[in-house]
Amino acid sequence: MQPSSIGAMRHYQMAKQALSNETGGASPDVSKVGGGENALVEGVKDFAQVFENVETQTQMMASGQADAHSVVEAMANAEVALETAVTIRNRVVEAYQELLRMPI
């Protein structure tokens, strides 16, 4: 496993812990965003599901119910999802900065 994968998982765990502390242990209801289901909400749900799958696979491997290959595959999928999310975030920030540079 690459150090970037380990770091990504560590940051995910810290963010998940911080979120559960802020919401009193309850998961936030993202389905109420924007008044209905849309592509962004579905994307966020899918993104969270990828990391939950990694967590489940890791726990199953620790208990002997899954092999290392399935854990590595789940972590690779999570790494791709994280890199995609970071790329999207960077492009949104770039677009926002372009808007700020536009003359009024």
pLDDT tens, residue by residue, 28-60: 554 554 544 688 788 888 899 999 999 999 999
With a CB cutoff of 8 Å and minimum separation 6, the contacts of 80 are none
pTM: 0.58
Helices (H), the chain: 3-22, 39-62, 68-101
Per-residue pLDDT tens over the stretch 63-79 = 999 899 999 999 999 99
Q: Where are the domains of the chain?
A: 3-23+38-101
